[in-house]
Structure 1
Amino acid sequence: MDAKKWTGIILAGGQSSRMGANKALLELNGSAVLTHTSNAIRPAVSRIIVATGSDEAIYNALGDEDFECVKDVYPGKGPLAGLHAALSASHTEWNLVSACDMPLLQTSFFSGMKILTEQYSTSNAIVPRIEGRIHPLAGVYHRRVLPELEQCLIHDRLRVIRWLEEIGCHFAEISELEHVGIGHAALQLSNMNTPDEFENIRFRLQRSGFSSER
């Protein structure tokens, strides 16, 4: 599928309270965690937008990164606010989305999610559901969700999964993910909220032989 018709969105700018440091800027194998995510998504898109919360400067300071930063229009309202800001800045109908704290995601994940939009083109979003667990911050979103998304933010309805159910999201099961070439989905979707989880991901990258394809 043509990368020119796709925008990549990376959700950064969270509080990182359990980590004790900005997760996106932690160093992993010589690069910022945000860089790992942007490298994985870049081959599948023509443009990358990073939703930074309220502070663009610390992300722009990375300097050589090929992405654009946007601030929340509705600050302090969590990942839905970041998604709203980035989708508002996007010029494409479909958008690949990832949280910044999933550095094990591979390009094949994003390529596979693009294929699923051909089958579920009338869905407003497609996100993985693995063993009953929904991963709302790694998937594809259509810009037509913006009106409903803004209403959620205005009225402080900030529960992401409830919103997905309301907009008619398709939850892709493991068999569907494997069918479109997404292997080791549970591992790829590992995120890091604590120092222990971060060290576990570092170990996997350095010792287990699992590395993100770029």
Structure 2
Amino acid sequence: MDAAITGGIILAGGSSRRFGEHKAFAQYKERYFYEIAVSVVQEVAEQCVVVAYHRIASQLSTNVSVIQDRQEVMGQGPLAGLYSGMNAIGVEGWFAVITCDTPFMTADVYYRLLHMAQQEPDGDAIVPVSAGVIQPLTALYHRRILPQLMQLLNEGKRSVRALLEQIAVKFVTEDDASLFVNINTKEDYEKYVK
């Protein structure tokens, strides 16, 4: 059975304290970062959802659903966003995950990850590694990880690395590190985007 990316989760959470304003509304090539992330994931996934920080959820204008973390995991970081997104879409299979502050990401990366997922039918995650850095928030996760997600969140553990230690992960080398540039500060923005 061929694998497919059935869900897409755009993570637009967090307060963006280091950036000074919410990164979702930073722009690259006259498009908001969140719009870029949505377009990338929409290209590869059958259904998508944006999991947004509560203060900006109503400000996002997009053709996909915008939700907040589920009440039981509210504010517990990217694992909560992943958990909430999977539950909101409610389909089996692979989920493409992207953060809204990686404006150079392309759908091609997810197609390559999907190709690897097709070779790993029992895998739980396909995670890129670029320039020696693991990129767990630009990856594919299978819905079968929901129990592990819930257990970690119940234990107050928010680390994505803690999740990776508990599931079957296939790491995939990606040569173009520029695609994975994460814009965390205004200095990053000036250096990479401007």
Query: Residues of 2 paired with 1:10 and 1:197: CA distance?
Result: 21
Cα distance in structure 2, aligned partners of 1:200 and 1:47: 34
Q: Distance in 2 between matches of 1:131 and 1:61?
A: 35
In the other structure, the counterpart of 1:83 is 82
Q: Could you say which residue in structure 1 is the equivalent of 2:68?
A: 71
Instruction: Give the gaps of 5 or more residues in structure 1.
Output: 175-182, 204-214
Partner Cα distance (1:10, 1:133) in 2: 21
Distance 2:45 2:3 in 1: 8
Please, which moves more after superposition, 123-132 or 77-86? 123-132
Partner in structure 2 of residue 211 of structure 1: none
Give the aligned partner of residue 180 of structure 2: 189
Instruction: Specify the SS of the correspondent of 2:184.
Output: coil
Map Cα deviations across residues 147-196 of structure 1 (whole Å, 9 max, x no partner). 1101101111111112112112112123xxxxxxxx62x11011110001
Contact 2:9 2:85 in 1 (8 A): yes
Are 2:116 and 1:119 aligned? no
Q: Is the 8 A contact 1:33 1:103 kept in 2?
A: yes
Q: Distance in 1 between matches of 2:3 and 2:173?
A: 25
Measured in 1, the distance between the counterparts of 2:42 and 2:3 equals 13
Name the % identity: 31
Return closer, same or farther for 1:113/1:38 CA change in 2, 3 Å cut-off: same
RMSD: 1.8
* C-alpha distance in 2 between matches for 1:99 and 1:160: 13
- Rounded Cα–Cα distance in structure 1 between residues aligned with 2:118 and 2:64: 26
Please say which of residues 141-150 and 88-97 is displaced more in the overlay.
88-97
Which AA in structure 1 matches 2:84? A
Runs of 4 or more off by more than 4 Å in structure 1? Answer: none
Counterpart in the other structure of 1:61: 59
Aligned match of 2:189: 198
Distance 1:137 1:59 in 2: 20
Distance 2:27 2:53 in 1: 20
Q: TM-score, normalised by structure 1?
A: 0.82
- Residues 2 and 133 of structure 1, relative CA distance in 2, 3 Å threshold: closer
Q: TM-score, normalised by structure 2?
A: 0.90
How far off its partner does 1:144 sit?
0.6
Q: Is the deviation greater in 100-109 or in 128-137?
A: 128-137
CA distance in 2, matches of 1:68, 1:200: 32
Equivalenced residue count is 190
Quick one: distance in 2 between partners of 1:93 and 1:164?
18
- Asked whether the equivalents of residues 3 and 114 of structure 2 are also in contact (C-alpha less than 8 Å), the reply is no
